[in-house]
Amino acid sequence: MFPESNRSKQTLVYLKELNYRAEDGRNLQAVFRGLKELQKRQRTRELEANTMKDIKEQPSLKLIKDRSRPVLRDLNVKPQLGSTGRNRAVGTLEAHQNGFRFTSSRAEHVDIIYRNIAHAIFQPCENDQTVLLHFNLKDPILVGGKKKTYDIQFYTETRSAGDDLGTGRRAGYDPDEIMDEQREREMITKLNKLFREFVRQVEEQVWSQYAPNLEFDMPYRELGFTGTPNKAHVDIFPCRDCIVALTDWPAYVLSLRNIDIVYFERVSFNLRNFDMTFIFKDYTQTPARISIIPTESLDQIKQWLGELGIVWYQGPTNMNWTNIMKEINKNKQAFIDNGAWEGWFGESVEEGSDDGMDEGDEEYTESEDSDVESEAGGSEYKGGGSDSDSGSSFLVDEDSDSDSEVSLASDESEGLSWDELEKKAANEDRKRRRSPESSEKKRPASKKKRR
């Protein structure tokens, strides 16, 4: 029985549970299945609506009927077209007037319009098993009618997983294994040549006429380093306009065109690795971070950033960039008037002292001296690194103490503390970056020699 409600006062009655009874339980089971199916369809509609909200309508592909158009055959694609399974879709990639078309052996196809391409990357096979073409897109597209993606990749493997399992059981100096290695080297050379020829034809025959602002980029293998941009620890390679990790999926592509500064975190002589944070020119965008980079790669990365004209800073701790960017966005003009990033990090790196620094700057000095921290008053940018230190990997090299003491044992450094040595080294790096020789370095040319 329901309690009587006073309609004049419009009292609401809440029901916590309802029990149904029926002479034939099959009727209730049918109603139950109908309700579940209705809920499932509603969730599917909401998911499709959420997927389609970022999808922009792309123009129709203008086909080139000429048989001489660039074509690359026997390719795999990531993400896969259609339903996933053991049998991956193999297909053909064709370059047409305003875009690429990939057609699989199951007659499925996906179109990539040239004007939607942010980065086109050709990665030849070197010390791995894959040669690939990767396209990073400005706007997402649907692959297989269901998957929304900003990245699509076409690749060929030089050997299958079955070949790896078979060669693992052979003894040393096996003639069959030597022949297999020779065939693999020949296959790598052949595939690299096919992909290079396709890239050359696309740039010279198609893009030069229909998309002159596009060209394929290539990773600089000699500048490669390892790091963790997402969840996995992968090999990362700088390119002319981006940083990429393409071998593992999902791929990682970070464009350098909109980078404001780079900040190196956890830089210390007694740590084996550090973190690198990229701050975008759009301060409302969340900074990108690559963690657990080996310390031996630090100088090489600094030199590469200097050649690109990207300003970098460094510090011994992690920063809480969420709070920092929130404070900056509250008053951007005050941030600019105070010297922007140079006002925050520049003086602490160059001078290594507290003279002439604002209270906000004192929170980010590279010294961890307790006296300095006690003098730094209530900074509005407080909360830099202590909150996020627990999420970082600190791998202390206990064996490096003796080596460091020998290398630093000089007349100038004798008697200095670790904090003073860190400030001194950072100051010297800062001066080298601001020297006339380093300022004359220009950004690499947009056209580079094919390797």
Q: What is the pLDDT of residue 274?
A: 94
pLDDT tens sequence across 304-326: 999 999 999 998 888 899 988 99
Q: For position 435, what pLDDT does the model report?
A: 56
pLDDT at 410 over 50: no
Q: List, for residues 82-118, the tens digit of each pLDDT value.
A: 655 556 778 999 999 999 999 988 888 899 999 999 9
The answer, yes or no, to whether residue 448 has pLDDT greater than 50, is no
Percent of the chain at pLDDT > 70 equals 72
Domain 71-219 architecture: Roll (2.30)
- The predicted pLDDT at position 28 comes to 83
**What fold does the segment set 258-439 form as a domain?**
PH-domain like (2.30.29)
| Confidence at residue 87, expressed as pLDDT on a 0 to 100 scale | 62
Tell me the domain boundaries of the chain.
Answer: 71-219, 258-439
Comparing 58 with 279, the larger pLDDT belongs to 279
Task: Tell me if 71-219 shares its fold with 258-439.
Answer: yes
The pLDDT tens digits of the residues spanning 60-72 come to 889 888 888 899 9
Q: What is the pLDDT of residue 155?
A: 94
What is the pTM for the complete model shown?
0.67
Span 330-350, average pLDDT: 76
pLDDT of residue 73: 92
- Does the pLDDT of residue 293 top 50, yes or no? yes
Most confident of 25-34, 262-271, 342-351: 262-271
- Look at residue 173 in the predicted model and tell me its pLDDT: 65
For residues 23-45, give the mean pLDDT.
86
Write down the mean pLDDT value for the chain. Answer: 76
Secondary structure string (H, E, C) spanning the chain:
CCCCCCCCCCCCCCCCCCCCCCCCHHHHHHHHHHHHHHHHHHHHHHHHHHHHCCCCCCCCCCCCCCCCCCEEEEEEEECCCCCCCCCCCEEEEEECCCEEEEEECCCCEEEEEHHHEEEEEEECCCCCCEEEEEEEEEEEEEECCCEEEEEEEEEEECCCHHHHHHHCCCCCCCHHHHHHHHHHHHHHHHHHHHHHHHHHHHHHHHHHHHCCCCCEECCCHHHCEEEECCCCCEEEEECCCEEEECCCCCCEEEECCCEEEEEEECCCCCECEEEEEEEECCCCCCCEEEEEEEHHHHHHHHHHHHHHCCEEEECCCCCCHHHHHHHHHHCHHHHHHCCHHHHHHHHHHHCCCCCCCCHHHHCCCCCCCHHHHHHCCCCCCCCCCCCCHHHCCCCECCCHHHHHHHHCCCCCCCCCCHHHHHHHHHHHHHHHHCCHHHHCCCCCCCCCCCC
